Amino acid sequence: MFQLYSSEDVYAETLAHIRDDNPELSGGQITAIRAQLQEIANEIKEYDCRKAKETFIGADTGDLHVHAATVQGQCEYLLTNDRKLYNQLSEDQLETLPYEVCSADEFFCLAAEASAVILDKALTSQLRYWSVKMNNPPRQYDLLERASCPMFALLVKRATMRKIGMTPEQIDRQMPLGSNFSGEMQSSSVRYLAQISENQR
């Protein structure tokens, strides 16, 4: 459905932020986080920042490497929660970019909208994982809310309600999708929920 790409520069920035926020993490924990990042993403190794500067319209030249790697990788989307990167641009300016800029929340919603089965499998996997790890696992939608993914958190909460036995109609009446979701997603929300399995295990 999609492939994730990243770069050495992005890994370095990510780990630097994690270290700043968690000064007591061990070197082994940082190494493990890096290994996990590298496991889920393909690495774009070569990108020409000087050449990419000609088409870079972001506010911070420190983010030039992100633009360069995205262009080099011929990526369709740039997934970022860094609002400073392109936040000052108009819609017309954003349309001149060779890729679409979207937040993590927007991207996860796109993936979920494309396939209820993918959301179902991912949620089932998480529920199983956490049920083994602890007696009172965190609610996935609460974690997503705290991670600035409110729209995707709502989709996960609706799917969780389905898994505990509520009917699609009950869920849609109790927690309808708002206008911030696509018209197609709103009109097919009951059919979508019907594809979510009821059992967690």
Q: What is the mean pLDDT of residues 4-33?
A: 96
Question: Does position 116 have pLDDT exceeding 80, yes or no?
Answer: yes
Helix, strand, coil shares of the chain as percentages rounded to 5? Answer: 60, 5, 35
Percent of the chain clearing pLDDT 90 (strictly above): 76
CA distances (Å), origin 66, targets 40, 59, 181? 18, 12, 28
Cα torsion 58, 59, 62, 66 to 10°: value is -20
d(CA 99, CA 70) in angstroms, rounded, equals 8
d(CA 106, CA 124) in angstroms, rounded, equals 21
pLDDT of res. 201 = 47
Q: CB pairs under 8 A, 24+ apart, for 11-14?
A: 11/37, 11/38
Residue partners of 186: CB distance under 8 A and separation at least 6 = 176, 177, 179
pLDDT digits (tens, 9 = 90+) for 55-88: 999 888 999 999 999 999 999 999 998 877 887 8
Q: DSSP for 9-67?
A: HHHHHHHHHHHHH-TT--HHHHHHHHHHHHHHSEE-----HHHHGGG---S-GGGHHHH
Retrieve residue 134's tokens: 């602890």
Element containing residue 107 per DSSP (H, E): helix 104-114
d(CA 2, CA 90) in angstroms, rounded, equals 27
Terminal-residue alpha carbon distance, the chain:
25
Residue partners of 26: CB distance under 8 A and separation at least 6 = none
Q: Which of 10-14, 86-90, 130-134 has the lowest mean pLDDT?
A: 130-134
pLDDT digits (tens, 9 = 90+) for 172-200: 999 999 999 999 999 999 999 999 988 65
Q: Please, what is the average pLDDT of the chain?
A: 92
